[in-house]
Amino acid sequence: MPGIEPGLDVRPVCYEVADPFRHRLGERKQEALMNEDKKNTIHIDSQVVHVEQASLTGTELKRLGGVAAGYDLYLVVPGPAGDHLVGDDEAIELKSGMHFVSAPSDINPGR
């Protein structure tokens, strides 16, 4: 080959270039998964709601679920004990899978 000294070892050189976007995407996915663990998925009437807070008051839950004025909010409790009426100022510790239902405040359930 012209311009190359005789006896010089010439080999193609391959460099592996790390894709910086792949690394950043991996970090984003990991962060999203970590944040996903912090979110609670609850149900208010027929809506699925994702919340990051560990607890919310009855008023906050009503607002989140679009519960109209004049309606009460109940935490659905499986079993014979019956559902729990959530007070407006009552803080509820949230867990994924909780179900809440609203009902008019002027009804008298069970009577």
| Domain of residue 70, CATH code | 2.40.240
pTM of the model: 0.64
Q: What is the DSSP string of the chain?
A: -TTS-TT--------PPP-HHHHHHHHHHHHHHHHHHH-EEEEETTEEEEE--SEEEHHHHHHHHTPPTTEEEEE---STT-PEEEPTT-EEE--TT-EEEEEETT--TT-
Quick: pLDDT tens for 22-53: 555 556 555 555 555 568 999 999 999 999 99
Q: What is the tally of structural domains in the chain?
A: 1
Residue 23 maps to a domain: no
Residue 47 maps to a domain: yes
Residue 7 maps to a domain: no
Residue 25 maps to a domain: no
Residue 100 maps to a domain: yes
Host domain of residue 97: 40-104
For residues 91-101, give the mean pLDDT: 96
